[in-house]
Chain A
Amino acid sequence: MYLNSYNLPCVTISMNFTSVMFSGFKEVREEEKSQMVGKVFSNVASNYDLMNDFMSGGLHRLWKDRLVSKLSPFPGMKHLDVAGGTGDVAFRILESVNSIKRRALQDPLNDDLQEETRIYVCDINPNMLDVGKNRALEKGLGEDKSLVWVQGDAEALSFEDNSMDGYTIAFGIRNVTHIEKVLSEAYRVLKRGGRFLCLELSHVDIPVFKELYDFYSFSVIPRLGEIVAGDRESYQYLVESIRRFPPQEKFASMIADAGFQKVEYENLVGGVVAIHSGLKI
């Protein structure tokens, strides 16, 4: 059951946080939500990777490694990484595919396949994509035609039906307005046998750890955002959006409703992060 309007915290310039403490969430119309999200990410784009490192203590790298190993990429793959602006997941997939290729060098057929690998990085925010393209240049992947940077909306993808072997969305799905639309789009673009993988911050249920995590989220993170990125509101929004996102089981049932089979989830760090996966048959 989803409401048509979302609750957003009062993002007011007059640093009045009592409204947040009294759970004074304001109702915002859905058109406005995507605008607000756009503003948030334009603000955070330049410091996105740095803040990720700070907030997760470097763990986000391991989480993304785990996501890619679960995906099990292969040469010749067509992959779509949604909301992957700065390219973290895409770079990892590319590295993984190239290493497999080196292993299978004996097989002459695979050389052609390597040319066919395509990793599409789709993001709604052009600033994030720019950061990603710069990072690709730094890594020496600027000329690599396997990486394709596309600006687009996760709820209305510009890709054809049954064209992707894999679909990943890492830390992006809680920012969308209509989760079901994103899931059905994912189902549409995947081929038969294709996999959907979602890495997202999720709910913690372990008793003592939950309190610690809440304290960390609401007290430490916005302060960090203020110091490092100079933007407290955006990180406040981030923390609250995590709490609003459906819990693991609910999200898994939503994925199943979109048509995916073999829907599973794996909790990392006690539920702070969860990787949901589904198979299209």
Chain B
Amino acid sequence: MYRTVVNRILLTKNTGGGRRCLLRFPDLRTAVSSSRFSTTTEPQTFPNRPLNPADSSTSSSSTSFQTSSAAGDIPRQERKNPRAEYQGEQARVLQASLRHVLRLGWSEEAMIAGAKEVGISPSIVGSFPRKEAALVEVLLGLNKFFMDDCLQRLIDRIDSGEELQDLIPSQCIYKLVRFRLEMQAPYISKWPQALSIQAHPLNVSTSFKQRAMLVDEIWHAAGDEASDLDWYVKRTVLGGIYSTTEIYMLTDSSPEFRDTWLFLDNRVKDAFDLKKTIQEATYLAEAVGAGMGSSLQGFVGKVIQR
């Protein structure tokens, strides 16, 4: 993810400053990606790097004392490891908890069961980042982890998928959104609960960021090179498509979600048609304007001449 943002920044720099009317872009995107990595030491060691956004977004009432600042003399390398260890354990617990979600829902019970499975005291469940009520925070931890995991798998798929480049953008987007939604398919019975957790006021900002990153990633894979207002429009539209398809999937009982994919296909087509329609409308407006302008000029000229 970090890498794609860097590529994009380099790309936009190369296309020249003239076209770039919105200079805040790189800042926004790097700010989003850097907040994910502010407490990560080595992104490569933890493919599931879910807990850091949570760590960096603790509320103002609690102050965090990181163990790294305690060991003044110990070199940085060693200091990283103790902190990394507990995060690794937390990640393992969450991974195990996912297997219990279907039975127990996105809840503390699932996490306790997960901890027991891994062989760690369920007390660790209490150490996941807290904001207010214990249950909400626990749910937050579990849910965010899952979303990051899916994003990572999507990125891997994009990296390995050479055939994506041969497809036209609309097909590409269809495939990627479908792939991403299929990852959620096993949990579909409890997914409404997950969505409600994401919509909770405390969690809205992080879930919004995740969705934005997802949409960005998909567009990037589809070969998007827009750098002005188009960038926002494309992502908003794709965000809309993704959300509506996700909600459609909740009530879809057709075998292997056939209806959902059909729905998705139609929406993607609509979006691309809409794009063409807007383009045509723009051309039309330009033509009319030009026509009107010349006739108006002629009219005014005649009036002045008189």
Contacts and interface: CB of A to CB of B under 8 A. Distances in A.
Nearest to B66: A263
A265 B124 contact: no
Given A74-B122, A252-B70, A281-B89, A195 B62 contact: no
Interface in A52-88: 69-72, 74, 77
Interface stretch (B107-115, B216-224, B255-263, B274-282): B107-115
Nearest to B133: A69
Contacts of B82: 261
B72 to A, nearest CB: 9
B120 interface: yes
Interface in A176-225: 190-195
Contacts of A192: 89, 119-121
A72 B124 CA distance: 9
A39 interface: no
Q: Which of B63, B64, B109, B121 has the most CB of A within 10 A?
A: B121
B67 interface: yes
Interface in A237-253: 248-249, 252-253
Nearest to A261: B86
B63 to A, nearest CB: 6
Contact of A266 (B61, B109, B112): B61
Given A261-B82, A264-B62, A281-B86, A195 B67 contact: no
Nearest to B55: A262
Nearest to B126: A72
A104 interface: yes
Nearest to B135: A72
A104 B109 contact: yes
- Chain A interface category by residue count: 20 to 34
Contacts of B86: 261-262, 279, 281
B62 A191 contact: no
Given A77-B122, A195-B123, A264 B65 contact: yes
A277 interface: yes
A193 B65 contact: no
A116 interface: no
A10 B290 CA distance: 98
Contacts of A248: 63, 65
B125 interface: yes
Contacts of B69: 253
A263 B69 CA distance: 11
B26 to A, nearest CB: 33
B212 interface: no
A267 interface: yes
B134 A72 contact: yes
A25 B109 CA distance: 52
Given A252-B70, A256-B70, A257-B70, A193 B62 contact: no
B191 to A, nearest CB: 21
A252 B71 CA distance: 12
A74 B127 contact: no
A281 to B, nearest CB: 5
Q: Which of A107, A192, A262, A264 has the most CB of B within 10 A?
A: A262
A279 B63 contact: no
Contacts of B109: 104, 107
A261 B126 contact: no
A100 to B, nearest CB: 8
B190 to A, nearest CB: 16
Contact of A279 (B62, B112, B124): B124
B115 A266 contact: no
B83 interface: yes
B234 interface: no
B88 to A, nearest CB: 9
Nearest to B122: A74
Interface in B82-113: 82-83, 85-86, 89, 93, 108-109, 112
Contacts of B85: 261, 281
A191 to B, nearest CB: 4
B130 interface: yes
Contacts of B65: 248-249, 252-253, 256, 263-265
A195 B63 CA distance: 18
13 contacts: A70-B126, A72-B123, A72-B138, A166-B126, A190-B121, A195-B123, A253-B69, A262-B127, A263-B65, A263-B67, A267-B61, A267-B63, A281-B86
Given A262-B127, A263-B67, A267-B62, 8 more contacts: A72-B123, A74-B108, A104-B109, A195-B126, A252-B65, A265-B65, A266-B62, A266-B63
